[in-house]
Structure 1
C-alpha cells in the first residue's frame, strides 16, 4: 500500500485534542487504503454481486461528515451530496465517471467544513440540529460516533483493498 501522511494520536493529549487526533488518524487511514490504486480499482466491487467499493465508501464518509458536523451540529440545511429520495444509498453508488480526484476533493472539503463547524463548539455543547427522535447531540458524542464510523468502515476498506491487490496494513 502506498504511504500517506498519518500521525499517531498523542498518548497524553487532553480530551478534545485526543478525540480530534483519533478522528484524523482514522480519516487518514481511509486515505491510505485508497492510495496507489487506479480509478478503476477504486471502483471495483468488493464481492459481487455487492456494489461496495472504496470510492463509494469515501463518498459515504463525505456524506457522514456533512451530516453530523454541518447539518446536525451546526444546524445547516444542506442537500445530500450523493443520496436522493429515490436512491437513499446513492452515496455508495459509483459510475465509470467517478474518479478519485473528484471524490477525494469533495471528501476533503467536507472534512475542512466539519473542522470549521466543530471549532465553534465545546465538547459539552449540544447540536443545533436534532436526530430522528428529536434529541440533540453533544460534540463529544459526535466525535465519538465519527471515530466509530471510520474505524468500522476502515475494517471494510482493509478487506476490499486486500481483495483488489493483496495489500494489507494498519
Structure 2
C-alpha cells in the first residue's frame, strides 16, 4: 500500500452510466471479454439520447465520421473478426466491398435504428462465439494472409478498435451537444 492519496477529482461520468465495470482481478478470458463489453457499452452510451439526424451528422469536418457511420463500421468489424475470420462462417461483409471500401462511413443510407440493431446482434454473436471457444489459444484463419490468428489476439485487437473509435465518438458527441464524460 502506498501513502499517495487518491485524487479527489476523477474524470466526469455520464449521468445515466450503467455500464458494469470490468473486474480488477480475474482470469484472462473474463477480463478481456469484460473490457471489450465495457467498450461496447461505452460506444452505446456515447450514442444514447441522440436523434437520427444527430447520429448522421458529420460533426467534425473535414472528417466524414459520424456516429451512424461508426456503428456500421463496428458491426462490420465484429462480423469480420469473430464470425468470418475466427469462426469461419460464410456470411457477407457488412458495408464493405473492394470497389467501395468506405461505404460504412460514406453511405449513411438505411435506418439508424436498424443499423444499431445489426451492431447489437453482431456483438451478441461475437459473445457467443467467444464463450463457445475452448480456450483463448483457439485459432481462426486471417483471410488476408492465410495465417492462424488466436481468439486472444482478436479480443485484444477489438478492444483497441473500440478504444480508438470511442475516442472519435467522444469528439463527435461533444461537438453535437456538448456532452462529455468517461
Residue 15 of structure 1 pairs with residue 28 of structure 2? yes
Offset at residue 12 of structure 1 (A): 1.2
Task: Tell whether the 8 Å contact from 1:43 to 1:55 is kept in structure 2 after alignment.
Answer: yes
What is residue 48 of structure 1 aligned with on the other side? Answer: 61
What is residue 115 of structure 1 aligned with on the other side? Answer: 127
For residues 103 and 88 of structure 1, what CA distance do their matches in structure 2 show? 18
Task: Tell whether the 8 Å contact from 1:51 to 1:93 is kept in structure 2 after alignment.
Answer: yes
Unaligned runs of 5+ in 2: 1-13
What is residue 33 of structure 1 aligned with on the other side? Answer: 46
Task: Tell whether the 8 Å contact from 1:6 to 1:28 is kept in structure 2 after alignment.
Answer: yes
Offset at residue 119 of structure 1 (A): 2.1
Distance 1:59 1:47, change over 3 A: same
What is residue 91 of structure 2 aligned with on the other side? Answer: 78
What is residue 134 of structure 1 aligned with on the other side? Answer: 146
Task: Tell whether the 8 Å contact from 1:73 to 1:137 is kept in structure 2 after alignment.
Answer: yes
Greater than 4 Å deviation, 4+ residue runs: none
Offset at residue 85 of structure 1 (A): 3.0
For residues 47 and 96 of structure 1, what CA distance do their matches in structure 2 show? 20
TM-score (norm. length: structure 1): 0.92
Superposed CA RMSD: 1.5
Which structure has the larger Rg?
2
Task: Tell whether the 8 Å contact from 2:79 to 2:122 is kept in structure 1 after alignment.
Answer: yes
Unaligned runs of 5+ in 1: none
Residue 66 of structure 1 pairs with residue 70 of structure 2? no
For residues 168 and 41 of structure 2, what CA distance do their matches in structure 1 show? 15
Offset at residue 79 of structure 1 (A): 0.9
What is residue 156 of structure 1 aligned with on the other side? Answer: 168
State how many pairs are aligned: 168
